[in-house]
Amino acid sequence: MTWIFVAAGLVLAGLAVLGVAGARVVAAARGLNREIAQVNEQFRMKQDLKG
């Protein structure tokens, strides 16, 4: 019976680690998306200045 609780605890700990890693990936992807949008805006502004 103890092994069942240990296994269940390890599963929950593993899921928590995956959840934290997933949240970090989502946050990094959002930051990268913001940076790409800023660079695209800079390119648009330079194109507009060229005519």
Structure tokens belonging to residue 42: 């800079």
What is the pLDDT of the chain when averaged over all its residues? Answer: 95
**pLDDT per position as a tens digit, 28-46:** 999 999 999 999 999 999 8
Q: How many domains does the chain have?
A: 1
Return left, alpha or beta for 23; rule: phi > 0 is left, psi -120 to 50 is alpha, else beta: alpha
The domain of 21 spans 1-51
Percent with pLDDT over 70 in the chain: 98
pTM over 0.75: no
Query: What count of Cα atoms within 13 Å lies in the side-chain half-sphere of residue 35?
Result: 6
